[in-house]
Every structure is written in C-alpha cells, then in structure tokens.
Structure 1
Amino acid sequence: MTPMLKTILITTLLFVAILLQGQSSFHASATYATKQGQIDREVSPSIALRNLTNKTIELSWEIEKANLPEGWDAIVCDHQCYSSLVDKKTFKLGPNEVLHDFKVSFRPNGKQGMGNVEIHLFDVSKEDETEQTITFSAAAQGTHTSVHDFSKETTAPKVFPNPAIEYIHIKDDYNRVALIEIYNVVGRKMGDFTVNHAGAKYDVSNLPKGMYMVRMRDANGNIIRTQRISKYNP
C-alpha cells in the first residue's frame, strides 16, 4: 500500500469513528406532546423513547417548569413516576428497548389554564453530543359556578376553519365569548382578539405554520373553552 493510500485510509477511518461517536444512542418519537383534560384530574401527554444500540444505556432527564399556571404542578414518569419535588433523574434502557410511555403528568389542582414544561434528555455517557429537548403541553378545562358548562353541549363555542389559512371565525350560539387568545406550543401568547359576534373574521395570516391553542374567555375573564387549531401556509 502506498503512503498516499495509507493516509487516505487512516483519514477515512478517523472520519467514520468521529461520525459514529456523534450519533445519538436513543430516539424520541416526538419533540412535542400535548393533551387536553379536566381541572380535577391529571393530564398526561407522553412520547416513546427507543434505545438504538445493542447495549444498555443510561439516560438522564431534567425538567424545567417555567410555564406552569399558578397552582399547577407537574411530575415526570420514566419507568416510574416521581414526586413533584424531583427535577432530575437517571434511568436505564436495555438493548433495543422501547419505553412507550415516557410522560409528564400535569396536575391542574382545580385551576383552568394551559401550561408547558421542557424536558432535557441525554445519554449520560456522552452528554454534550446527545441532548434533546422535549416540550410537553397540557390544557385543563373546568366549570366555575358562574360560568355555563359548555363542555357537554353540541353548541359549545368553537373556532373555525381548522386548519386556518388567513382568517378564523368563532361560532358561539350563546354569545358568551368576549375575547380569544392565541398561544403557540411553548405557551407564548401570539395575539388576541376582542370578539364581535356579528360574523366578524380575525386575521391570523401572520402566524407561522404550526399548532396553536385558542383560549376563549367571557366578559369576566373566565376561561370558557380552550381549543387546539393548526395554521397552514400554502
């Protein structure tokens, strides 16, 4: 083998080794998970985690709770569920194992609203190369004594069309919705509209393509309904 070929071979092997070293040892089925529920029970969006190797790996997670409504709490479940006081933990996945129900359980504790947390996941053996961030989001609805219960009626207020392109409308047979607020998947408010029930339309053409939560409030500020919609940009 000539010196030049030997140099090329060594360089190629080093490149392949570096490339393989940078590959993640696990796969998350999604980087965003959301679920809607009621204020009197846990709301638990989940994803699946897969070990991509033929050996046992140790993963670590850490939770950030920066965007929880007042009174809410959240716990993390890997192979088991932990106290809300636990904000980081390690766990193992066996060779090619799939954990089908890695989840965050939101506890609204009787409070309506929408919240989200971020979970930072990484392989303990190569933290800097494998970190992934997963956003878990939940919306909880309930009934105040002063608010009509729309949740069990076919006439519940709703936003349409869904998906939206340029404009949205609101169908509200009771004319109870006074304000609609639009939030993105990480809980950031993207806009709001004062509702005019005379067939008005509301311009959402400036919103990027994606999923949004529309929160509907009455004149007293009470949340009547939270609806998930998608925005499509042709």
Structure 2
Amino acid sequence: MRNFLQIIFFLALCTFGYGQISYSPNPIDVTADKSTENIQIDFELKNEGTDTVFLAWKLEVVEQPSVWQYYVCDTENCYNFNQDVSSTARPNIIPPGQTIIVMFHTLPTDSEGSASYKINFFDLEHADSINVDVPISVNTITSSTANFDVKGLSVFPNPTSDFFRVNTGSLVDHIDVVTVVGKKVGSFKAQQGGFYDITDLSKGIYYVRLLDAKGDSIKVMKLRKN
C-alpha cells in the first residue's frame, strides 16, 4: 500500500511539474470586411508551468470556403499557404512565465463566408501532458456597423502594465481609452496586430472604446492598468 501511494505521489509531481499552456484572447472570434486582403489574428501563448517548453503545432481546418487560404507565423517561421504542421526542428521555446505571439493569417479573396480552425500546440517532449487547442473563428461580411457582430472583439492582455491589443478585424477605425468618468486619455488609429501603449497612464480601471470610420461606437470594454 505504501509503495502504491508513493507511485501515485510521484506521478502527481510529474504531472503538475510539467505545467500548462494558456492562450489569450479567449475566445478568438473575428469579423472583418470581405474586401480585406489579409486578415491577421494575433494571439498569445503563455507558459504557466515551471519548466521551459518546446512547442510545435498542427492545424485542423474545421470548415473554410474553398477559395480562402491561410498561413501561420510563429516565433520561428512564417509557413507556406495552407501548411497544417510546423517544423519540429524549429520549436517555439517558452521559458516559465513567459509569452510568445503567434500570428494567424486568413486570405478571404473578397468573399463573404465563415471559417473555423483548431491549432493544437504541444510540447515535443511531453505531448500528452503539455498541449492546448486554440480554436479560431473568422467571419467576413460587407462592411456595415449595423451588421457587424461584436461578440468576438476583446482586449488583451488584461490586466496590463504597458500595452494592450485588440483583435479588431478590419471594421474598427479608431480606439479611444477613457477614464471611468468619461475623460479621454488616449486615442489610437486601429491597426491589425497593433500594440497600444498606455505606459504613461496611472494604475486603475479604464474603458477601451472601439469606433468605426464614422466615429460611431462599436463596443466598449473594461481594461485594468497595473
């Protein structure tokens, strides 16, 4: 009995020692204008464990219009169109507590439609215990604030101490940062993959307001500055 308990304890130590990988934003659900030539979707992977991980990935196309294409850029390489597996010779290395940015690109070829993908990131040495599925949904429409689905818009990292990002798609034109009493303390031109610097702002709660090209508000999200 004692030996059995020792074995269980050892296995538990191994399992928790390996750590886990998290991603943000979550969910990743982007709507963009169908005329966007290249929809770039950035997300972060964070090593929540205590050991360095060496990540490779494989991608599953759940659904995608036949004329669409995609490609993935990780820390080591930008891969070919529609390549669904990364090079195990060039893994993404993430030390404990650190993050990397992965860029997923969709080329909708000026067509309306919906696509969904799943990218499985796994550690080369412990693929069964250290892995995460990152689902991605992409929708293209004819640009109009009235029919723009805002559910996928999110701000990340949140909280933050220096910068934030927004998975804007292509229909957001400007981004304002306002205080809880409505005072505007920051304004940015929206860019796909953009970093928005709030280093100079005091710690506290702010609101990120997304605006279209006409200046109409699309969505407001809370942001904490540490």
- Band the TM-score falls in, shorter-chain normalisation: 0.5 to 0.7
Asked whether the equivalents of residues 53 and 94 of structure 2 are also in contact (C-alpha less than 8 Å), the reply is: yes
Equivalent residue runs for 1:157-176 within 5 Å: 157=147
Change (3 A) 1:117 1:124: same
The one-letter code sitting in structure 2 at the alignment partner of 1:22 is: T
How much does 1:68 deviate? 0.7
One-letter identity of the residue aligned with 1:110: D
Which of the residues 59, 62, 75 maps onto 2:58? 62
Shift of residue 61 of structure 1?
A: 0.5
Q: How does 1:26-105 map to 2 (within 5 A)?
A: 26-30=20-24, 32-39=27-34, 40-79=36-75, 80-89=77-86, 90=88, 91-96=91-96, 98-105=98-105
Residue 78 of structure 2 aligns to a residue whose secondary structure is coil
Identity within the alignment, %: 19
- Match of 1:102, SS state, is strand
Offset at residue 118 of structure 1 (A): 0.9
Q: Which amino acid in structure 1 is aligned with residue 69 of structure 2?
A: D
What is the rounded CA distance, in whole Å, between the counterparts of 1:140 and 1:49 in structure 2?
Answer: 25
Q: Which of the pair has more CA radius of gyration?
A: 1
Work out whether residues 33 and 46 of structure 1, in 8 Å CA contact, stay in contact via their aligned partners in 2.
Answer: no
Provide the residue aligned with 2:127 in structure 1: 127
Is 2:51–2:96's contact at 8 Å kept on the other side of the alignment?
yes
- 1:228 maps to none
Using CA pairs under 8 Å that are at least 6 residues apart, name the structure with larger relative contact order, 1 or 2.
2
Q: 1:15 to 1:51 in 2, by over 3 A?
A: same
Q: Which amino acid aligns with 2:45?
A: L
TM-score by length of 2: 0.54
Q: Per-residue deviation at 1:100?
A: 4.1
C-alpha distance after superposition, 1:81-118 (max 9, x if no partner): 21114211142324225334223211112111111111
- Compute the displacement of 1:56 (Å): 3.2
Segments of 5+ residues of structure 2 without an aligned counterpart are: 152-226
Q: What is the CA-CA distance between 1:53 and the residue it aligns to?
A: 4.2
1:118 aligns with 2:115: no
Number of the residue aligned with 1:18: 11
Work out the number of aligned pairs and report it: 145
Q: 4+ residue stretches of structure 1 with deviation over 6 A? A: none
Q: Residue 25 of structure 1 aligns to which amino acid in structure 2? A: G
How far, CA to CA, are the matches of 2:121 and 2:83 in structure 1?
Answer: 15
Q: Aligned with 1:17: secondary structure?
A: helix
1:55, 1:101 → 2: CA distance? Answer: 19
* Partner Cα distance (2:106, 2:47) in 1: 26
Tell me how far 1:137 sits from its aligned partner. 0.8
* Aligned-partner Cα distance in 2 for 1:27–1:37: 28
CA RMSD of aligned residues (A): 3.0
Query: Residues of 1 paired with 2:70 and 2:148: CA distance?
Result: 28
In the TM superposition, residue 140 of structure 1 has moved relative to its aligned partner by 1.6
Change (3 A) 1:157 1:44: closer
Q: State the one-letter code of the partner of 2:124.
A: V
CA 1:50–1:122 in 2, change beyond 3 Å: closer, same or farther?
same
Secondary structure of 2:83 counterpart: coil
TM-score by length of 1: 0.52
2:15 corresponds to which letter in structure 1? Answer: G
Shift of 1:78: 1.6
